[in-house]
Amino acid sequence: MPPSTDLHFVLFPLMAQGHAVPMVDLARILAHRGATITIVTTPLIANRFKTVISRAIAANLKIQLLELQLQLAQVGLPDGCESFDALESSESSFKLLRAIELLEQPAEDLLRELCPPPDCILADFFFPWATDVARRLNIPRLVFHGPGCFWLVCMQVVFSSNVLETVKSDSETFVLHGLPHRVEVTKLHVTGSSKAIMENQKGFWSRAIEAEKAAYGIVVHTFEELEHEYLKELKSMTNRKVWCIGPVMLCNRDGQDIAERGNKAAIDERDCMHWLDKREPRSVLYVCLGSLARVSTRQAIELGLGLESTNQPFVWCVKNETEELENWFSGFEKRVRGRGLIIRGWAPQVLILSHPAIGCFLTHCGWNSTLESICAGVPLVTWPFFADQFLNETFIVEILKIGVRIGVKTPVLYGDEDKIEPLVKKDDVKNAVKRIMEVNEKGKQRRNRASELAKMAKIAMAKDGSSYENISSLIKDITETRH
């Protein structure tokens, strides 16, 4: 039996799927060790996880969901904008961050009423006030990071060196010095955003960084074997305890938990698996650009034409809902009938990626999706949009060597996609898919490397693995602080 605990952890996940989904998985991992877990979030996010939490409670895990209302009107957001994927534009993200800041006092009031009282606050990096609340409650605060160690180290280098101030243009390439590998980037790749957005959020980032420096430790959703050099750098740079606890999606053993990870799928998972069962091993391209990234109708059509031209079977998760695109789809679906499966809405991604028919994943390079692909041993075609995604692409392609770039060089922020011409043309899709599926020596090396990483991920999460032991170490440390 694993070491057990009676600690009470209170978790504050960021209102974004790529952050909330792994934190809910982590909640169940801690609960399996005997901990009492309280997840505090907005009604919208809570509703997405009620079914999986209900199953956990039915399995005698001590987990509860508590809701806090955001003061949306006070920051200028309409009702319902409780999550980053519900926002109409990237400018609105600053308003949502402001609403999150206003949760400090309601959250503290809630925590003071909890029974048993909390022993530890585990809050996303984007909750800087959690450090102050933890100090007032005289308990440790752990900072949760959705992205991995490579991105965190790159950002540490950027902030500590002021290198961006010496770069003349957004498109000029420069080297991030002092890293284990040569990492060449542009200003836009580092910021993953526009200059205006970064300036708008500079004060918030500064507060979050200072709050992390004062926190007890850092929890990163990754595993040591994947990023051991960058974990070492991160520990040295932050002078903080760091626990790598992933890939947490591997805690999902129940079929429903796997199929509904993050949200209820827009397709019956049995129908999806039945469709994949008919395909040859490693022949299917899976296409999903995440919960936040959006594409214009014109860009979606270019992507569809590119998929059509590959002659590969594919599963395409589509988020667009415009009349023009639906009209185009009527002819497209006829042309690709038999080799193209269209999912409109949330896809059972972990289930799809784990199917032996999947040969590659065309992804936005969100860290959650990256880890899910690594766990499945599936190579990637990389199409970053914003935030950490360009640096994740560098890690995937140049350091892990399990991916191929589609060729995007500039961020596209949500709300801006209809203002620009499509950045990815149908030939870009065709050429990238051709390269990732190629059967030459390079293609073989990518697939073998992806398979090796999948084995490492499973070992890390299994009993006595590095992530398993890190959870034990975390519990031991927090127990000692209580005593």
Q: Supply the pLDDT for residue 201.
A: 64
Other CB atoms within a 10 A radius of the CB of residue 116 amount to: 10
Q: Please check whether residue 9 is in contact with residue 119, taking contact to mean a CB–CB distance below 8 angstroms.
A: yes
User: What's the first-to-final CA gap in the chain, in angstroms?
Assistant: 23
Q: What band does 465 get if pLDDT is binned at 50, 70 and 90?
A: very high
Average pLDDT, the chain: 91
Query: Is the domain of 86 the same as that of 200?
Result: yes
Q: How far is CA 259 from the centre of its chain?
A: 17
Does residue 135 lie in a domain region?
yes
Q: Would you say residue 264 has pLDDT above 90?
A: no
Q: Please check whether residue 360 is in contact with residue 381, taking contact to mean a CB–CB distance below 8 angstroms.
A: yes
**Amino acid, res. 422:** P
Q: Give the Å distances, CA to CA, from 307 to 2, 428, 439.
A: 47, 10, 19
Query: Is the domain of 187 the same as that of 284?
Result: no
SS3 content of the chain, % helix, strand, coil (to 5): 50, 15, 35
Q: Please check whether residue 446 is in contact with residue 223, taking contact to mean a CB–CB distance below 8 angstroms.
A: no
Q: Please check whether residue 439 is in contact with residue 448, taking contact to mean a CB–CB distance below 8 angstroms.
A: no
Provide the CB-side half-sphere exposure for 397 (13 A, CA).
22
Provide the CB-side half-sphere exposure for 265 (13 A, CA).
23
Adjacent-strand bridge partners of 362: 287, 381
Q: What is the CATH number of the domain that holds 319?
A: 3.40.50.2000
For residue 326, what are the contacts with CB-CB under 8 A and spacing of at least 6?
none
Q: How far apart are CA 192 and CA 169, in angstroms?
A: 14
Does residue 256 lie in a domain region?
no
Q: How far apart are CA 241 and CA 8, in angstroms?
A: 20
Q: Give the Å distances, CA to CA, from 376 to 266, 294, 451.
A: 21, 25, 8
Q: What is the mean pLDDT of residues 182-205?
A: 75
Residues 23-77 have pLDDT tens digits of 999 999 999 999 999 999 999 999 999 999 999 999 999 999 999 999 999 999 9
Domain count, the chain: 2
Query: Is the domain of 50 the same as that of 186?
Result: yes
**Amino acid, res. 255:** G
Q: Supply the pLDDT for residue 299.
A: 95
Query: Is the domain of 165 the same as that of 297?
Result: no
Q: Please check whether residue 111 is in contact with residue 105, taking contact to mean a CB–CB distance below 8 angstroms.
A: no
Query: Is the domain of 158 the same as that of 117?
Result: yes
Query: Is the domain of 229 the same as that of 341?
Result: no
Query: Is the domain of 284 the same as that of 236?
Result: no
Query: Is the domain of 416 the same as that of 427?
Result: yes
Does residue 1 lie in a domain region?
no
Q: Which domain holds residue 360?
A: 261-457
What is the SS3 assignment for 270?
helix
Q: Supply the pLDDT for residue 87.
A: 84
Q: Would you say residue 204 has pLDDT above 60?
A: yes
Other CB atoms within a 10 A radius of the CB of residue 78 amount to: 10
Does residue 405 lie in a domain region?
yes
Element (H, E) at 186: strand 184-186
Query: Is the domain of 318 the same as that of 467?
Result: no
* CA angle in degrees (0–180, nearest 5) for 455-356-437: 90
Closest CA to 146 of 356, 435, 370: 370
**Amino acid, res. 360:** C
Is this model's pTM higher than 0.75 or not?
yes
Query: Is the domain of 100 the same as that of 130?
Result: yes
Does residue 3 lie in a domain region?
no
Does residue 2 lie in a domain region?
no
Query: Is the domain of 178 the same as that of 230?
Result: yes
Higher pLDDT, 266 or 300: 300
DSSP at 313: -
Does residue 18 lie in a domain region?
yes
| Dihedral pair phi/psi, residue 174, rounded to 5° | -150, 160
Helix axes 466-482, 17-32, angle to 10 degrees: 70
Query: Residue ranges of the alpha helices (H) in 192-254?
Result: 195-214, 228-238
Does residue 467 lie in a domain region?
yes
Sheet strand arrangement including 36-41: 63-67, 36-41, 8-12, 120-124, 141-145, 217-220, 241-244
Residues 410-454 have pLDDT tens digits of 888 777 787 888 999 999 999 999 999 988 899 999 999 999 999
Query: Is the domain of 335 the same as that of 414?
Result: yes
Q: Would you say residue 263 has pLDDT above 80?
A: no
